[in-house]
């Protein structure tokens, strides 16, 4: 039987697989990528938010745009991407078996990269199998790929970045999110993601979880209750919500079955999300020439998956003799530095599950942000991005050390400083005059930057906020200013609406509010 | 109220295939060609895709990416078709799946 041969076979056309394909093909390898899905890109095409990170690594670009860029680059380099192709087996001597339609084909790779990503975890509770209980990934797939609302009234379980980001996307799709619930005592994901959900009025219930989903044919409601430090329900704390959908965002597990099948040395590592292969710094497993990259080798996020993919693609090129050790070392150093940058800060892998009480700058973190999803009024003033001055100026409500710096390059006047340490909190240089262009507001992936003018007219000031919802309010509209918790605090008039290709769908809404509300109003709601 | 998103603040107006008609349990349902069958059913408000064989419990969309098999139905006479990853075609005959049959349990 004849078997088609490739220099590098990649399983999974997501961010890491495509990045590896690009690096390997660029160095002359004949590369094929198999993916079981109808469309390539992994989860990137469902990611409609702007990514965090550094400018060099696609920060502030939306995930689906990164997906388009990777696919185009791979196509230009002659990478073959085979879809609807499920790799069902991997055997000795790097032979793989692929199911395409009703047929099974064999392929041989001189090297192989497994980039199969992760699968969603689930939790069980009474009624969890009812139609209407869905995974957060399902919600993203339905609304961002297929243009359909997953439900009209939704409860989200899970406050990690997936739960927070998907909650926000549900609001953008026009759904109502009635509550965000997590059994953990503190919000697991980025505070800025939590804050943009909270200011839309979504209540956070930390130390709570689902008791039961109600309904006979499908979900009609849900009951949650508070849990103690041993995750046991506290009687009398039950709360009911009328919902038609319950969305579960309770973590991811590596899809590492193929590696186990091939005989790679594996370990059960809870910090990496479960069963993962043991691999070296290039992603090479215990089997020479068999590499891994992305979530399959430990749960992180798409930005680091892309860099891991690049490293593995380059390492495969070295393994097959397409490049020398010098090029491998140089490229590895460069990518490793970027990866190390992404793994710094409060959400670094070694801090997982830990309460970090002070920022790198020595500032007390906002406990209200961790427990309620928004920074309290008596906490906000202590962060370096929050300043008061005459005239228009940015107020940067970025309070956690995360690896992200697009804001410092966004300001044409250079009034925002992060410095060379990517996780440092952005600070405002009060000696530089803000021109009110709003580029910082639109560039902040966490939507944490506002322009504030305390002296717009006697008794009134303005707040310029990022706005990614429809319908877009118009100049002259009257409504309400909502505070960081989503509570109506004042009347507000829209005095300016700015959209620009440079803002990439983040509209800038300027609202006029009473002067004493400029440090409180952070969202606008029409009457 | 339709659950379809007419215009999205980031994605704009999503392109759809041509409008087609298919049947679900004998009733005419409209959807767009090429979208997952499950999407068209969701837009029509149909939540239950199947009932489990042993306990006769309802199941619907769960993972939406073809992994969990909760959403399988009988499509053109073939059982266990994952409706969340199977593109819709004009005239498809879709039926609720009872166990692995199109016949409700009381008739099995």
* pTM greater than 0.95 (yes/no): yes
Cα–Cα distance list, A164 to A62, A190, A390, A442, B66 (Å)? 16, 8, 35, 19, 24
Indicate whether A357 pLDDT > 90: yes
Nearest to A137 among B5, B42, B63 (CB): B63
Q: Which two tokens stand for residue A21?
A: 């394909």
Say if B93 is an interface residue toward chain A (CB within 8 Å).
Answer: no
Flag if A48 and B11 touch (Cβ within 8 Å).
yes
Nearest to A137 among B3, B65, B85 (CB): B65
Is the distance from CB of A245 to CB of B85 less than 8 angstroms? no
Number of inter-chain CB pairs under 8 A, A vs B: 99
What average pLDDT does the structure give for chain B? 96
Indicate whether A139 pLDDT > 80: yes
What ipTM describes this predicted complex?
0.97
Indicate whether A328 pLDDT > 80: yes
Q: Provide, rounded to the nearest whole percent, the portion of chain A with pLDDT above 90.
A: 94
Interface with A, mutate which of B2, B4, B7, B8 (most A CBs under 10 A): B8
The residues pairing with A108 across neighbouring beta strands, listed in sequence order, are A5, A95
Indicate whether A1 pLDDT > 60: no
With cut-offs at 50, 70 and 90, classify the pLDDT of residue A2: low
Q: Which residue do the tokens 């809404």 mark?
A: A509
pLDDT tens sequence across B77-92? 999 999 999 999 999 9
Q: Provide, rounded to the nearest whole percent, the portion of chain B with pLDDT above 90.
A: 94
Helical residues (DSSP H) of A233-286, grouped into ranges = 257-262
pLDDT tens sequence across A222-281? 999 999 999 999 999 999 999 999 999 999 999 999 999 999 999 999 989 999 999 999
Indicate whether A133 pLDDT > 80: yes
With cut-offs at 50, 70 and 90, classify the pLDDT of residue A57: confident
Mean pLDDT of all residues in A178-183: 98
Rounded Cα distance between B43 and B29, Å, is 10
pLDDT tens sequence across B24-40? 999 999 999 999 999 99
Indicate whether A392 pLDDT > 90: yes
Structural domains in chain B plus CATH codes: 18-98 (3.10.20.440)
- List the A478-482 sheet strands across, edge first: A392-396, A449-457, A460-467, A507-514, A488-498, A478-482, A523-526
Interface with A, mutate which of B49, B62, B72 (most A CBs under 10 A): B62
What pLDDT does residue B1 have?
53
What pLDDT does residue A349 have?
86
What pLDDT does residue A367 have?
98
| B89 to chain A, closest Cα gap in Å | 16
Q: Cβ of A517: how many Cβ atoms within 10 Å? A: 20
pLDDT tens sequence across A295-327? 999 999 999 999 999 999 999 999 999 999 999
Q: Which residue do the tokens 């078709």 mark?
A: B81
Phi-psi region of A498 (alpha: psi -120 to 50; beta: other; left: phi over 0): beta
């Amino acid at each position: 039987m004849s078997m088609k041969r490739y220099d590098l076979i990649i399983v999974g056309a997501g961010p890491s697989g495509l990045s590896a394909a690009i690096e390997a093909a660029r160095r002359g390898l004949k590369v094929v990528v198999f993916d079981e899905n109808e469309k390539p890109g992994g989860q990137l095409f469902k990611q409609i938010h702007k990514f965090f990170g550094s400018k060099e690594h696609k920060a502030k670009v939306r995930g689906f745009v990164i997906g388009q860029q990777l696919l185009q680059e791979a196509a230009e380099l002659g990478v073959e991407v085979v879809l609807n192709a499920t790799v069902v087996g991997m055997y000795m001597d790097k032979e793989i078996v692929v199911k395409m339609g009703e047929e099974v084909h064999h392929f041989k790779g001189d090297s192989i990269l497994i980039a199969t990503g992760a699968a969603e975890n689930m939790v069980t509770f009474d009624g969890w199998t009812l139609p209407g209980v869905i995974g957060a990934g399902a919600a993203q797939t339905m609304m961002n790929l297929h243009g359909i609302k997953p439900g009209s009234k939704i409860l989200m379980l899970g406050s990690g970045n997936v739960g927070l980001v998907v909650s926000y996307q549900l609001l953008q799709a026009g759904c109502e999110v009635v509550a965000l619930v997590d059994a953990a005592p503190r919000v697991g994901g980025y505070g800025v993601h939590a804050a943009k959900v909270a200011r839309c009025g979504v209540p956070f219930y930390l130390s709570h979880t689902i008791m039961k989903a109600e309904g006979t044919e499908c979900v009609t409601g849900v009951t949650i209750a508070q849990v103690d430090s041993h995750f046991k329900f506290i009687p009398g704390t039950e709360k009911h919500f009328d919902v038609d959908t319950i969305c579960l965002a309770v973590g991811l597990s590596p899809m590492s079955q193929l590696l186990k099948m091939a005989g790679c040395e594996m370990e059960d590592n809870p910090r990496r999300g479960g069963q993962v292969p043991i691999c070296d710094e290039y992603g090479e497993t215990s089997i020479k020439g068999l590499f891994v990259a992305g979530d399959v080798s430990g749960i992180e996020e798409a930005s680091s998956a892309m860099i891991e993919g690049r490293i593995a693609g380059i390492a495969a090129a070295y393994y097959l003799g397409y490049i020398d050790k010098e090029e491998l070392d140089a490229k590895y150093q460069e990518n490793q530095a970027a990866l190390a940058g992404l793994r710094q800060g409060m959400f670094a892998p070694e801090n997982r599950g830990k309460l970090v009480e002070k920022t790198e700058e020595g500032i007390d973190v906002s406990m209200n942000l961790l427990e309620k999803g928004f920074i309290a009024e008596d906490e906000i003033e202590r962060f370096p991005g929050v300043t008061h001055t005459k005239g228009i100026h940015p107020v940067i409500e970025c309070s956690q050390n995360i690896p992200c710096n697009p804001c410092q390059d966004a300001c044409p006047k250079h009034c925002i400083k992060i410095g060379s340490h990517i996780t440092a909190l952005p600070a405002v240089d009060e000696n530089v005059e803000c021109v009110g262009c709003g580029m910082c507001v639109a560039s902040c992936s966490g939507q944490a930057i506002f322009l504030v003018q305390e002296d717009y007219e006697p008794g009134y000031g303005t707040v310029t906020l990022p706005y990614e919802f429809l319908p877009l309010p118009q100049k002259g509209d009257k409504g309400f200013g909502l505070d960081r918790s989503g509570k109506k605090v004042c009347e507000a008039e829209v005095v300016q609406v700015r959209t620009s290709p440079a803002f990439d769908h983040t509209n800038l809404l300027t609202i006029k509010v009473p002067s004493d509300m400029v440090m409180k109003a952070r969202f606008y709601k029409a009457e | 109220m339709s659950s379809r998103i007419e215009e999205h603040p980031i994605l704009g107006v999503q392109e759809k295939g041509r409008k087609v008609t298919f049947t679900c349990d004998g009733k005419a349902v409209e959807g767009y060609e090429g979208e997952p069958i499950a999407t068209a059913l969701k837009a029509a408000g149909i939540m239950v895709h199947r009932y489990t064989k042993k306990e006769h419990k309802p199941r619907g969309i769960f993972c939406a990416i073809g992994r969990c098999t909760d959403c399988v139905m009988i499509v053109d006479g073939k059982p266990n078709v994952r409706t969340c990853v199977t593109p819709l075609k004009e005239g498809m005959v879709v039926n609720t799946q009872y166990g692995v049959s199109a016949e409700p349990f009381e008739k099995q």
